[in-house]
Amino acid sequence: MSWRSQLFGSPWRALLSLLLGGLLLWLVPRLLDWAVVHAVFRADLPACRALDHAGACWGVIAEKGRAILFGRYPFGQQWRPLIGMLLLSAVLGFSAWPRAWRAHALLALWGLGLPLFLLLMRGGVFGLETVPTHLWGGLPLTLLLSVCGLAAAFPLGVLLAFGRRSAWPVAHSLCTTYIELVRGVPLISVLFMASFMLPLLLPPQWKTDVLIRVLVGLTLFTAAYLAEVVRGGLQAVPQGQVLAARALGLTELQVQRDIVLPQALRAVVPALMNSFIGTFKDCSLVSIVSLYELTGSLGLALGGDPEWRPFYLEGYLFIGAVYGLLCFAMSRYSRFIERRLGAAPRRAT
C-alpha cells in the first residue's frame, strides 16, 4: 500500500491520520524546544536555574556525569573502572562474534579478562590503591553484576532444567519446587533474603561481602527463569535424536551434553537473549539493598546535592538512554544470531 492510501485511503484512516498527525505536530516542536532549543549544555547552574524547566538542563550530565557513571569510586582512581569497562566490553564483543566460538579460546579469554577486571577494580597490587567493594558503583557495577550473575546462573539453570525433566522423582520434585517457588516471588524479596538472611545462615566468622551476597541472590533468582527457558528448548528436541545417539553407543552423559543440549539451546536463542536483557535491567534493583549501580549512583549524585536536585529528570533521561541503547543493541544482536543460526545447515547428527 502506498503511504498516501495508508494515510488517507478511507474516512477512518483520514481521521486517524489527522488525530495522530495533530498530536505529533503539537508534541514534537515542544519536545525539541525543551530538549534542544532552550536547553543548557554547559555545567552552568545559574543558567539552568533561570530556565525554570522551560528547557532541559543537560549541564547536570556535564557536572555529574562521572559521579553517575562511576558512583562512589574514588575520583582520582576512576580511570581504573573506565579501563576495566573497556576491557570487559572488548571481551564481550569478541565473544559475541560467532567466528570466535571455540570453547577453549572463550574460556581462556574469560578466565583472563574477568579476574583482570576485578583486579583493576579492587586494587591492592602493583601499587594500586585498594578500593573496597562497597565503593564500587555505576555502570561498571551494572556490567559486573549482570555478567557474573548470568555466567553463574546459566550452568545452574541448565542443571535445574535437566533436573525438572529427570525421571528420578526426588530430583524432579526438588527442581520443580525450587523453580516454581523462585518464579512466584519478586526479585526484591530474594535480594532482601540475600542481604538480611544469608549472613544469619552462615557461620558468623564468614564475613560475606554485600556484593557477593547480592550476586548469590541474583544468581539463584535468574537460574530459575533460565531453567524454564532451557526446559522449553529441551522439550523441542525430537526423541529420535536421543534414540539415534544411544544406538550409536554414546553414554547418557554424552547424549545429553553433545546431542540434546546444543540443539535445545539453539532452539531458544531469542528467549535466552530476552532473559539476558531482563537480568541486565533487573540489576537496577540492587540499589534497594544499598549497592549503587547506575540507577543508584544517579540517586547518590543528585539526591545528595540540593543545587542540582531539581534536574533529576534530565539525569533519569540520561541513564534511561544508556540502558535503552545497551538493551536495544542486545535485542538487535539476538536477531542477528537467530538469523545466523537459522541459516546454518541443520545437520541431523
Partner 1 sequence: MNRRSRRIVGVLVQAALLLALVALIAWAGDNALAQLRARGIQAGFDFLLQPAGFEIGESAFAYDSSQPFWRAFAVGVGNTVRVALPALVLATLLGLLIGIGRLSTHLLLRGLSTAYVETLRNVPLLVQLFMWYFALSELLPAADAALQPLPGVYVSKSGLSLPWPVWAEGAWWPTSLEWPEVGGFNVSGGAAVTPEFLAVLLALATYTAAFIAETVRAGIQSVSAGQRQAAQSLGLTGAQQLRLVVLPQALRVIVPNTTNQYLNLVKNSSLAVAIGYPDLVSVTNTALNQTGRAFECIAVMMSVYLLLSLLTSALMNRYNARVALRGWS
Residues found near partner 1 in the complex (CB under 8 A): 1, 3, 6-7, 13, 16-17, 20-21, 24, 53, 167-171, 174, 181, 183-189, 192-193, 196-197, 200-204, 277, 281-282, 284-285, 287-288, 295, 299, 310, 312-313, 316-317, 319-320, 323-324, 327-328, 331
* Total count of residues recorded for the chain: 349
Question: Is 41 or 196 the residue whose CB approaches partner 1 more closely?
Answer: 196
CB of 193 to partner 1, least distance (A): 6
Specify burial of residue 23 (Cβ count, 10 A radius: 0-12, 13-18, 19+): exposed
CB of 200 to partner 1, least distance (A): 5
* Distance of alpha carbon 56 from alpha carbon 77, whole angstroms: 31
Q: How far is CA 50 from the centre of its chain?
A: 38
Question: Is 41 or 328 the residue whose CB approaches partner 1 more closely?
Answer: 328
> Nearest CA to 300 among 143, 130, 136, 189?
136
Bridge partner residues of 138 (DSSP): 293
Q: What radius of gyration do the chain's Cα atoms show?
A: 25
H/E stretch holding 268 reads: none
Bridge partner residues of 154 (DSSP): none
* Distance of alpha carbon 278 from alpha carbon 273, whole angstroms: 8
* Distance of alpha carbon 302 from alpha carbon 44, whole angstroms: 15
Question: Is 5 or 89 the residue whose CB approaches partner 1 more closely?
Answer: 5
CB of 327 to partner 1, least distance (A): 4
CB of 248 to partner 1, least distance (A): 17
CB of 108 to partner 1, least distance (A): 32
Sign of the alpha-carbon torsion through 222, 141, 100, 338: positive
The three cell numbers of residue 75 are 575520583
CB of 308 to partner 1, least distance (A): 13
CB of 72 to partner 1, least distance (A): 19
CB of 133 to partner 1, least distance (A): 21
The three cell numbers of residue 40 are 543548557
> Nearest CA to 144 among 113, 165, 171, 167?
113
CB of 181 to partner 1, least distance (A): 7
The three cell numbers of residue 85 are 569497562
Contact 295, 71 (CB under 8 A): no
Contact 277, 213 (CB under 8 A): no
> Nearest CA to 318 among 70, 62, 142, 128?
62
Question: Is 131 or 277 the residue whose CB approaches partner 1 more closely?
Answer: 277
Question: Is 82 or 193 the residue whose CB approaches partner 1 more closely?
Answer: 193
- Backbone phi and psi for residue 189, each to the nearest 5 degrees, phi listed first: -70, -35
